[in-house]
Structure 1
Amino acid sequence: MSETAERLDVAILGGGITGLTLALQLKRADPELRVTVLERQEHPVPEAAHKVGESSVEVQAHYLRDILGLADHLDSEQLHKFGLRMFLTHGDNTDIARRVEYGQIAEAPLASYQLDRGRLENALGRLVTGLGVDFRQGVKVRDVDLGTAGTDHLVHIGADQSPLRARWVVDATGRAGLLKRKLGLARPLGHRANAAWFRIEHEVDVQRWSDDEQWQDRVAGGLRRLSTNHLMGPGYWVWLIPLASGSTSIGIVAEDAAHSFEGFNTLERALDWLDEHEPQCAAEVRRHLAEIQDFRVMKDYAYGCQQVYSEDRWCLTGEAGVSIDPLYSSGGDLMAISNGLITDLVTRDRGGEDITEKAVAHNQVYLVLSEIWLVAYEGQYPVMGNAQVMVAKVIWDTIIYWAVPGLLFFHDKFRRLGESPAAFANLQRTWLLHTRVQEFFREWHHTGNEPASDVFADPYSLLEFIVDLHNGMAAGLDDDKLEEQFARNVDLLEELAGQLVVTVTRRLEEQGPDDATRARTERWRTDALLAEAVARYERRDGSDPIDSAWITLGARNEAVRP
């Protein structure tokens, strides 16, 4: 190692949202840490037309607001999000009021935000600099020599610049994945999908797409335009995200098997694609073509990683490690979880602790979590064209998110999960159940796709306990009560899975199934994991039935009781 190299505690490669939030979290945890962030782009970066990842959900929102202390910025410089809203396909999609709509009618208890990434990253850059972080802009990292046997890492940043010595090096370079490429850690995924997006300097408001007063009055407690609006169809979805600058982010995301990337990989092709699949959106965009600010694409965006943290004091965070799918805005959540685990490793190491076992445990926890998120997307894009199955799936996915990762993150449990065999076992139990339920949704979809229209599904109205799950994330439980609540949540998930199987099976049998459907329902009865879930559901106290409306597009013609 060079004796003249400048020495740091932590060198962060990449100064986007992931690298800057990590730097901020490290300085909040230990103000004496010597942290340098190396970013190739100069600040200030442009507002609106900068990066995607603009919609946050509860985990990332809690991270930014409460852990990093950015509440003032979020309240004054960003938009409060009015939840996730989906419009399922109906006919030729020329009348949004006829489409099955999933979304809330009033503000959720815990806030989330629509993020202008440029505005946020500019604010983060100023903040970390003020806290003593050495934020170097216009710097390209050429290579990293990773230390061995406890020696420092050497970061090369330019032919005419001295290298940096760092005890820790963290790759936050996003899809460039400098360390992942160097170490051969890439893991391909079976989820093959592509995206194209653009920002338009115009406020796109779906509320104006119909003059149906009854439809407009459904949502009285907030503004539809402030939701993350998704226009859904077979194998695709289109996002509409409002930004505080007044612009709107619009993106097409499609499974490669159903919609060729070449069909929407230029602006002209994307507009033609919208004409065909989402004509109301296309018409709005075409009225404001002169206000389009950018156009970008991403092919085959999902990938995994074999390892993200090492006892040799290198880490990958954010998309430098794992990229799953933007449907539920999980990238920001995984960033928050990863940065927290890295901060735990760095501060423990600085305190003189041997972090060998912790690095292994944190790596395992993070990779299991990424797999739990992945199964919600892989192979599921065809279901997006089936309104009944998709609404049930979104409600299931929301419940599992609040019941498991949301609860654990809000209670700062992930960095201590390795110390609790029972909690880690429940996480594994969730993974197995979630994987089988996602497979069930695909199987249910293959039994038929009946057209649906003129239905509004508010998750808070369909299930009484869902508000308790949402609030429960921020309940502030001690460790013993948290483990009890986590176990109860997993029990509830098994009961819901059992109810799903029972309800769908009964409805299919009432419809007079064909031979293929009868064979499928018989396989469900003999599936060991599903049978166990059904048995748990049937043992549930009959005085406290779970409403099956979440499975039946709100239909309550018959209570399904255990």
Structure 2
Amino acid sequence: MVDFLTLKHYSHATARMFSPQRWSLIGDAGAFHDPFYSPGSDFIALAASFTLEILKARLRGGDVAEVAERFDRLYLQFFDTTCELYRKAAPVYGSPRVLPAKVYWDDFVYWSFVCQYFFRGVFKLPADQHERFELLGREFAALQFRAQKLLSEWARRIDNTPRPVNVVLPVIPSLLASLYLDLTRDMSPDETYAYMRDKLAQAGEILGELALRALAEVGPDQRDELARAVDLPSWPQRPPPTGSPPRPRSAASAAAPSRRSSATWSAPSAASPASTTPPPSQAWSPAPTPAPSRPPGKDLQARTCSLKHVLRAELRRPPTRPQERTCSLEHVLRSELRRPPSEVSGPWRQRLSRATR
């Protein structure tokens, strides 16, 4: 089969979007990514909003050159990080097992930082108040580059034969669906920053979980090769729990299936320099799995709270094949157990009501 209507070289960039010489580019007049996820409207909104802020600065008699340079830098950083969603994605598009993991990850980062950044009007803040958000965005970008490399290398090394498999979408409430509901929350700049910082930590946990699942799926003969391809030893390591000395583990032992994996990636400090290649750090190894504090099934509320940051497969396998429940369709992740709406109280009930109207 040949796609004779294919469009080639439609993605393009630009050296500058906003100029101190009183011009700006909006839409594909400046830069265009890829139609997958349809990000064009997002960047039109960013460019138009940034242009408006530059005009406001000029009317106030402010330093237009400084404002234009800042928004130009921000926009091009957004553009470069978004392009990474597509640069290495070709193998993933052909992988029915890895593509759901990519969509989950991409949605998580998009709703955690990009959408909150725009909806909360963070770009309107003065430069001194905006700086911490820019540094936080670089930390998200560092995770983004690691994740896209992992997804691509994972897809290259597994059997991608199409199979009749159902991918269950995250329910409401769940880690991913809750991010979407949170877009309606009204937050102050400090609350927004704290929210983004919390989601950055969760993104690190998701990336660690994806790494474990990828290593488990490729098999023992390719685990070391995959670990080298994604430079896994350079990934930062979460400090071990108090009183527990760190235990170095190989990539093969790290890939052992676990119903409750708490492997995480801890975010670098806000002072870390911006780079598309994350800086080297301590050797990576998964954190030890905590023992459950009470027997499963005794207290649903306690199980939900204790598993808040423990990612689990969305699809349940038949009980006759318990081993595959951990390692087969392990891409679509969630953090909370299913609960009927009658057991959801407080703000959750209000948000559920809004979401189901």
Aligned residue among 209, 233, 236 for 1:527: 233
Amino acid at match of 2:169: P
Asked if 1:557 corresponds to 2:322, the answer is no
Check conservation: 1:380, 1:442, Cα contact below 8 A: yes
1:417: Cα distance to partner? 7.5
Give the whole-Å Cα distance in 2 for the aligned partners of 1:548 and 1:462.
Answer: 15
1:488: Cα distance to partner? 0.8
Give the equivalent residue in structure 1 for 2:176: 466
1:437: Cα distance to partner? 0.7
Give the whole-Å Cα distance in 2 for the aligned partners of 1:463 and 1:385.
Answer: 30
Between structure 1 and structure 2, the one with the greater Rg is: 1
- State how many pairs are aligned: 265
Deviations 1:403-438 (A, max 9, x none): 110111111112338433221111001111101110
Alignment gaps of 5+ in structure 2: 239-262, 267-285, 293-305, 318-323, 336-357
Give the whole-Å Cα distance in 1 for the aligned partners of 2:289 and 2:53.
Answer: 40
Give the equivalent residue in structure 1 for 2:269: none
Aligned residue among 165, 171, 183 for 1:455: 165
Give the whole-Å Cα distance in 2 for the aligned partners of 1:385 and 1:524.
Answer: 20
Check conservation: 1:460, 1:467, Cα contact below 8 A: yes
SS at match of 1:538: coil
TM-score, normalised to structure 2, is: 0.66
Q: 1:505 to 1:298 in 2, by over 3 A?
A: closer
Give the equivalent residue in structure 1 for 2:253: none
Give the equivalent residue in structure 1 for 2:4: 264
Q: 1:438 to 1:531 in 2, by over 3 A?
A: farther
Check conservation: 1:389, 1:445, Cα contact below 8 A: yes
SS at match of 1:476: coil
1:58-73 alignment runs, 5 A limit: none
Asked if 1:434 corresponds to 2:144, the answer is yes
Check conservation: 1:341, 1:362, Cα contact below 8 A: yes
Give the whole-Å Cα distance in 2 for the aligned partners of 1:499 and 1:385.
Answer: 22
Aligned residue among 61, 65, 68 for 1:352: 61
More strand by share: 1
Amino acid at match of 2:10: Y
Give the whole-Å Cα distance in 2 for the aligned partners of 1:431 and 1:535.
Answer: 14
Check conservation: 2:171, 2:177, Cα contact below 8 A: no
Amino acid at match of 1:324: H
Aligned residue among 224, 230, 249 for 1:518: 224
Asked if 1:547 corresponds to 2:253, the answer is no
Q: Give aligned-pair identity as a percent.
A: 21
1:354: Cα distance to partner? 2.1
TM-score, normalised to structure 1, is: 0.43
Amino acid at match of 1:264: F
Deviations 1:102-141 (A, max 9, x none): xxxxxxxxxxxxxxxxxxxxxxxxxxxxxxxxxxxxxxxx
Give the whole-Å Cα distance in 2 for the aligned partners of 1:459 and 1:414.
Answer: 32
Give the whole-Å Cα distance in 1 for the aligned partners of 2:182 and 2:289.
Answer: 21
Give the whole-Å Cα distance in 1 for the aligned partners of 2:316 and 2:54.
Answer: 46
Deviations 1:362-404 (A, max 9, x none): 1111111111210001121221111011111111111111111
Deviations 1:232-261 (A, max 9, x none): xxxxxxxxxxxxxxxxxxxxxxxxxxx97x
1:508: Cα distance to partner? 3.4
SS at match of 1:377: helix
Check conservation: 1:402, 1:473, Cα contact below 8 A: yes
Give the whole-Å Cα distance in 2 for the aligned partners of 1:333 and 1:524.
Answer: 30
Check conservation: 1:325, 1:377, Cα contact below 8 A: yes
SS at match of 1:372: helix
SS at match of 1:300: coil
Give the whole-Å Cα distance in 2 for the aligned partners of 1:330 and 1:436.
Answer: 21
Give the equivalent residue in structure 2 for 1:305: 14
SS at match of 1:557: helix
SS at match of 2:205: helix
1:540: Cα distance to partner? 9.2
1:353: Cα distance to partner? 2.0
Check conservation: 1:462, 1:549, Cα contact below 8 A: no
RMSD (Å), alpha carbons: 3.0
Give the equivalent residue in structure 2 for 1:314: 23
